[in-house]
């Protein structure tokens, strides 16, 4: 157990393709031939579970990957392109794991919240209360063209900060907030105990516990109720990656966990303060956001070997590794030093989501070397202490907002 049970250190891992280095698939230890197989993803999530990670996120999008996430597909053939569906990966991995949280990335743009609510509630049942959702928007015009229901302006990086682009992005974030609200209402539309299943009386459902959500907004009009009984967690964990005020406010309105991107320890107190200011600005009630910092990591017992590996991959890419998150290359002890330095900078930093540069190499190093190092320092648990993902983050199982009488938390 953590030496600080009142404020345990949380660790999550971000899984994407062959890793977060753009040429990770060409590393000698990578297995690009397995990227689109269930065994590959099962092995990755099991490795994260071996390392006692709180949850694993699985990246996804509605278009082929691009070196610039704002642009249309770049048509490169020397990078990993193509993905399996993140929610379906989580669904088939769920019965093959037992403790780790499963948090697929699913965009709110072009995706109906009714479908999202059904899929994620099913995942929570499938995993016995370990489901989450990383909310993402889609800004790319080529992704909009896949659906043909709306046109999005092409957002160029050199146009960021202009009124037109700011207005388009604000609309996408407002739509995302509405989508999360609809999904949460649909999760609540079945109270606990709605299913009676009494064959003798012929009553399968208690109709008084099944509710219309009747949501009407700019982007959605949803009658409800949902079609999947209430998730085991009541509300699966909602996660938002945020880089600035608009995204912090989306997280403050809609999420349980916010992922942030400091570049150094001195950034952490400022960013946490901005998150808390966003909570105050939107009038957040209930538990404060859990805050996890993002790091891209390359780890080896020999730090020189980790640096050499990244340098070799940089050479294949023709450019140094770049990311919105800070990049740490070194030994497990050096990475542990960074994590604890950042956490010491703000007592309100709850932990980290780590992005392995190369999969499975860096994930194995995190599970088998970093985690034992943190355990030796008395800052990370020695075993899972809960099954429910919400419970692991100290979040209560909420009652359905539609319940006429208080429900007993399970």
Q: What is the CATH number of the domain that holds 87?
A: 3.20.20.30
Q: Is the pLDDT of residue 11 over 50?
A: yes
Mean pLDDT of 125-140: 94
| Structural domain span for residue 349 | 10-137+236-392
Could you tell me the maximum CA-CA distance found in the chain, to the nearest angstrom? 71
* 1 inside domain: no
Structural element, H or E, at residue 238: strand 237-241
Give the total number of structural domains in the chain. Answer: 1
The answer to the question of residue 338 being in a domain is yes
* pLDDT at residue 297, rounded to an integer: 98
Q: How many CA atoms lie within 13 A of 97 on its CB side?
A: 36
User: Does the residue 209 lie in any domain?
Assistant: no
Q: What is the pLDDT of residue 303?
A: 97
Please write down the long-range contacts of 395-399, taking CB distance under 8 Å and 24 or more positions apart.
Answer: 395/237, 395/256, 395/287, 395/290, 396/287, 397/233, 397/234, 397/235, 398/234, 398/235, 399/234
pLDDT at 410: 39
Percent of the chain with pLDDT strictly greater than 90: 82
* Helix then strand then coil, % of the chain, to nearest 5: 40, 15, 45
> 57-61, 121-125, 133-137, 401-405 — which is least confidently predicted?
401-405
Question: What are the two backbone dihedrals, phi and then psi, of residue 103, each rounded to the nearest 5 degrees?
Answer: -125, 85
Q: Look at 138 and 10; give whichever has higher pLDDT.
A: 10
Mean pLDDT confidence for 241-262? 96
Q: How confident is the model at residue 168 (pLDDT cuts 50, 70, 90)?
A: confident
46, part of any domain: yes
342 vs 161 pLDDT, higher one? 342
Query: Average pLDDT of 255-264?
Result: 98
What pLDDT score was predicted for residue 5? 47
How far apart CA 83 and CA 25 sit, in angstroms, is 13
Does residue 19 surpass a pLDDT of 70?
A: yes
Residue 157 within a domain: no
Q: What is the CA radius of gyration of the chain?
A: 21
Q: Please compute the mean of the pLDDT values over residues 9-22 and round it to a whole number.
A: 97
pLDDT at 407 over 60: no
Please determine, for residue 101, whether its predicted confidence score (pLDDT) is greater than 90: yes
- Pairing verdict, β 237-241 and 132-136: parallel
105 within some domain: yes
Is residue 272, in this structure, part of any structural domain at all? yes
In tens, the pLDDT along 328-338 reads 999 999 999 99
Q: Which tens digit of pLDDT belongs to each residue from 311-322?
A: 999 999 999 999
| pLDDT higher than 90, residue 151 | no
- Identify whether 387 is part of a domain: yes
Mean pLDDT along residues 341-363: 97
Of the given ranges (54-68, 115-129, 259-273), which has the lowest mean pLDDT? 54-68
């Amino acid at each position: 157990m953590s030496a600080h049970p009142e404020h345990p250190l949380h660790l999550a891992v971000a899984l994407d393709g062959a890793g977060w280095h753009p040429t990770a698939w060409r590393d000698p230890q990578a297995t690009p031939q397995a990227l689109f197989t269930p065994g590959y993803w099962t092995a990755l999530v099991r490795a994260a579970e071996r390392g006692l990670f709180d949850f694993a996120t699985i990246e996804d999008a509605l278009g082929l990957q691009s070196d610039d996430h704002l642009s249309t597909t770049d048509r490169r053939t020397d990078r990993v392109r193509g993905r399996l569906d993140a929610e379906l990966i989580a669904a088939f991995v769920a019965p093959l794991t037992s403790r780790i949280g499963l948090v697929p990335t699913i965009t709110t743009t072009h995706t109906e919240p009714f479908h999202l609510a059904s899929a994620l509630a099913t995942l929570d049942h499938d995993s016995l209360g370990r489901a989450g959702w990383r909310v993402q928007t889609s800004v790319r015009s080529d992704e909009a063209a896949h659906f043909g229901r709306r046109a999005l302006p092409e957002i160029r990086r050199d146009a960021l900060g202009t009124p037109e682009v700011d207005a388009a992005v604000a609309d996408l974030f407002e739509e995302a907030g509405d989508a999360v609200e609809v999904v949460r209402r649909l999760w609540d539309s079945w109270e606990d105990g709605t299913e009676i299943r009494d064959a003798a009386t012929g009553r399968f459902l208690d109709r008084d516990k099944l509710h219309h959500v009747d949501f009407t907004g700019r982007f959605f009009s949803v009658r409800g109720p949902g079609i999947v009984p209430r998730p085991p967690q009541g509300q699966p964990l909602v996660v938002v990656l945020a880089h600035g005020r608009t995204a912090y406010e989306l997280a403050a309105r809609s999420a349980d966990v916010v992922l942030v991107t400091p570049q150094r320890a001195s950034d952490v107190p400022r960013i946490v303060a901005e998150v808390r200011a966003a909570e105050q600005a939107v009038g957040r009630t209930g538990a404060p956001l859990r805050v996890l910092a993002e790091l891209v990591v390359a780890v080896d017992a020999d730090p020189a070997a980790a640096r050499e590996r990244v340098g070799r991959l940089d050479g294949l890419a023709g450019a140094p590794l770049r990311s919105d998150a800070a990049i740490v290359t070194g030994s497990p002890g050096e990475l542990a030093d960074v994590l604890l330095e950042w956490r010491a900078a703000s007592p309100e930093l709850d932990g980290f989501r780590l992005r392995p540069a190369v999969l499975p190499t860096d994930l194995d190093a995190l599970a088998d070397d970093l985690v034992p190092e943190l355990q030796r320092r008395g800052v990370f648990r020695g075993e899972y202490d809960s099954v429910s993902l919400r419970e692991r983050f100290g979040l209560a199982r909420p009652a359905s907002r539609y319940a006429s009488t208080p429900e007993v938390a399970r």
